[in-house]
Amino acid sequence: MNQFLEFAIDLAEKLQGQTSTNPSVGAVIVKEDRIVGFGAHLKKGEAHAEIQALKMAGEEAKGATIYVSLEPCSHYGMTPPCSKSIIDHEINAVVYAVKDRSLNKSGHDMLVEAGISVTHSPSTRAEQLYESFFVQQELEMPFVTLKVSTSLDGKVATDTQESKWITGKDVKQDVLKLRSNHDAIITGGETVRKDNPLLTSRTESYREPQRVVLTRKSHFVESLDIFNDEQKPVIIITDQSNFKITKNQNIKLKKLDELNLKAALHYLYTEGYSNVMVEAGPNLISQFIEQNLVDQLIIYQAPKMIGGQGKYQYYQTHDVYPLSEAKQFKIISTDIIGEDVKIVLRK
Amino acid sequence: MNQFLEFAIDLAEKLQGQTSTNPSVGAVIVKEDRIVGFGAHLKKGEAHAEIQALKMAGEEAKGATIYVSLEPCSHYGMTPPCSKSIIDHEINAVVYAVKDRSLNKSGHDMLVEAGISVTHSPSTRAEQLYESFFVQQELEMPFVTLKVSTSLDGKVATDTQESKWITGKDVKQDVLKLRSNHDAIITGGETVRKDNPLLTSRTESYREPQRVVLTRKSHFVESLDIFNDEQKPVIIITDQSNFKITKNQNIKLKKLDELNLKAALHYLYTEGYSNVMVEAGPNLISQFIEQNLVDQLIIYQAPKMIGGQGKYQYYQTHDVYPLSEAKQFKIISTDIIGEDVKIVLRK
């Protein structure tokens, strides 16, 4: 693998999570073995990676090679097509790692027609980077991360529903940061009513995710913290046609005929939230797992055992499945966070 | 910390687990900044570390300094006291890391009386090495490791009791090796009856642990594998005064008036098993945890979720405890073993 293409993929990885619903892309321009420009897409609606890199390279772009993590686009969207800019800057050659399956007209073909040498140089690392983007785009569903804080024996509370705090303060800090890496945080109405959480990242250096509450009841009491801070309105998704908002509640309401998780996720995707995190009680957590809606699972385990009968296990289902139908994940990493374990898994 | 004392502690660590019920000790002899001898205690009843090192040093021991991980002994046990050999070899100075609280007469004092310079040079690493040894010796109880293989959501079987296999083949291999690091493996009668396990380490290069079965029933059927291989007799600990052994069963029987876990562990310690591992079903596992008898917990988690109501969680108790009384452990390490997670915890 070419080192410049590796660098372009590195850049894309660094910006992952903040370009929703666009993919994260990196670009590097090289002339006579010297980097003359590089860039990355920072935010949907702003310049693409290739444009950033071309701007940095200026006149040097003429006759140079551009390395891009994803095939340059060929369409007029919120910005002009990158392939056109590459042609206009008289770039000599284009090397990209992943073919953009979402393009109607191939950027590759458009560049070749303009007489530019184009190479598709596949990379497993880059494929993994865009895998979920293509799936999301095809299904029109966000990438769903489920966060669970549990005891070592799989419980989120004692049988008498005591649950504060199972994991330690370092985990709390890690979760705040995690929130800021997501477009939206989804929780259930019961969690809001019972725990009165803010669900913010609570630090100026972090971006604040959109907060989303799913509920089957027709109102929330006015005093709950989540409806009374200076953030963007909280999105409430409900099947209650008569849902009531009091005038002081900072709420954006979405009514669905039927409150099912797939429909709620699809709605969020169409609203531009392509990267969401679920932080909820065992009931909603179990529904997400049972319905195979979890793309990534982040589980924090405290090194303690709660015992009892396990009334509040984080994954409990009405149906009993054979072992061959157990929900299967793949471990990505394990870490020790303060006194607790963090395990990251993917579908 | 002196490099030679570090080396002596390294040696003690390498031999840890095979010297029961003796502590693992390393010794290094140094003359004019050159190592002239080193050794470690290999097995109870055989030469102590100091004796091994003195033998290697031979005449060079005269006027040399000996570094030992633990204070040299002063008593005639299965072998003559090391302090006497050190004096006889005309060693000039002794440096040791941990004071031996189990000695009636101090080896330190005996050496000083003989005109040898003696230094106690404390080391946290060495203290940790002997911590459990002293506790075991005082309580006359073995160091207990509990091994658990579970799904990510804390279950060892589906609600219909399907349990083979939750964790993968790499874990199986890891467990075989783990067995060989223990003096004895403890299991319950129900596991033997239901799963018919061998509980051996199954490789010539590994030592075989003693197998121990706890049961409240008065016999086992003859055909079970564990009673029909060429290993040492299986120890059965039971409260059944009329327990029956058929003539082909390779069994050593220990009857207790009452089958409680503490009494069973104490019996094993007095029989020379100071380092035991529990591999059992959720019922016995839960008893060991609930009675605070677990010194070390090794938990293998498969990246899958079983769900259901959790009839077979690995830790379930009749009593409900407040969160402040949850069984607390400390994480020592986390690893990925094949497709599964391995977490090692201590009390």
ipTM score assigned to the predicted complex? 0.77
**Residue from A171, A194, A221, A172 nearest A284 by CA:** A194
Residue spans in chain A of domains classed CATH 3.40.430.10: 140-346
The whole-number pLDDT of residue B198 equals 86
The whole-number pLDDT of residue A132 equals 79
Contacts of B301 in chain A (CB under 8 A): 343
Does residue B205 carry a pLDDT above 70? Answer: no
Across the interface, of A158, A290, A329, the residue whose CB is closest to B322 is A158
pLDDT in tens, B16-43: 777 878 899 999 999 999 999 999 998 8
Per-residue pLDDT of chain A (347 residues; tens, 9 = 90+): 699 999 999 999 888 777 878 899 999 999 999 999 999 998 888 889 999 999 999 999 999 999 999 999 988 877 789 999 999 999 999 999 999 988 878 899 999 999 999 999 999 999 988 987 888 888 999 999 999 999 999 999 999 999 888 999 999 999 998 998 888 999 999 999 998 988 887 766 667 889 999 999 998 988 888 888 777 889 999 999 999 888 778 899 999 998 899 999 999 999 989 889 999 999 999 999 999 999 999 999 999 999 999 999 999 999 999 999 999 999 989 999 999 999 999 98
Does residue B206 carry a pLDDT above 70? Answer: no
Mutate to test the interface with A, among B147, B149, B151, B153 (most CBs of A within 10 A): B153
Instruction: Compute how many other C-beta atoms are within 10 angstroms of the C-beta atom of residue B330.
Output: 11
Which residue blocks in chain B are alpha helix, DSSP H? 3-14, 49-57, 82-88, 107-113, 124-139, 169-180, 189-195, 261-270, 282-290
Contacts of B303 in chain A (CB under 8 A): 328-331, 345
Looking at residue A170, its amino acid is D
Does residue B132 carry a pLDDT above 90? Answer: no
- B310 and A313 within 8 Å at the Cβ level: the answer is yes
CB B98 within 8 A of CB B126: yes
For residues A177 and A156, give the distance between their C-alpha atoms in angstroms, rounded to a whole number: 21
For residues B251 and B256, give the distance between their C-alpha atoms in angstroms, rounded to a whole number: 16
CB A313 within 8 A of CB A156: yes
The whole-number pLDDT of residue B229 equals 77
- A334 and B336 within 8 Å at the Cβ level: the answer is yes
Q: Which residues of B are catalytic?
A: 50
**How far A304 CA sits from the closest chain B CA (Å)?**
4
Q: How far from A143 is each of A99, A257, B323, CA to CA, in Å?
A: 20, 23, 34
Does residue B204 carry a pLDDT above 70? Answer: no
- B327 and A310 within 8 Å at the Cβ level: the answer is no
Residue A195 is assigned to a ligand binding site: yes
Across the interface, of A162, A317, A329, the residue whose CB is closest to B322 is A162
For residues A196 and A335, give the distance between their C-alpha atoms in angstroms, rounded to a whole number: 29
Element housing A83 (H / E): helix A82-88
**If one looks up domain B140-346 in CATH, what number appears?**
3.40.430.10
**If one looks up domain A3-137 in CATH, what number appears?**
3.40.140.10
pTM given for the model = 0.80
- A304 and B326 within 8 Å at the Cβ level: the answer is yes
More confident call, B184 vs B246: B184
Q: Is A170 helix (H, G, I), strand (E, B) or coil?
A: helix
Cβ partners under 8 Å of residue B76, min gap 6: none
Residue spans in chain A of domains classed CATH 3.40.140.10: 3-137
Peptide bond into B165 cis (omega under 30): yes
Contacts of B328 in chain A (CB under 8 A): 303-304
- B154 and A343 within 8 Å at the Cβ level: the answer is no
Does residue B232 carry a pLDDT above 90? Answer: no
For residues B277 and B63, give the distance between their C-alpha atoms in angstroms, rounded to a whole number: 45
Contacts of B341 in chain A (CB under 8 A): 331, 334, 343
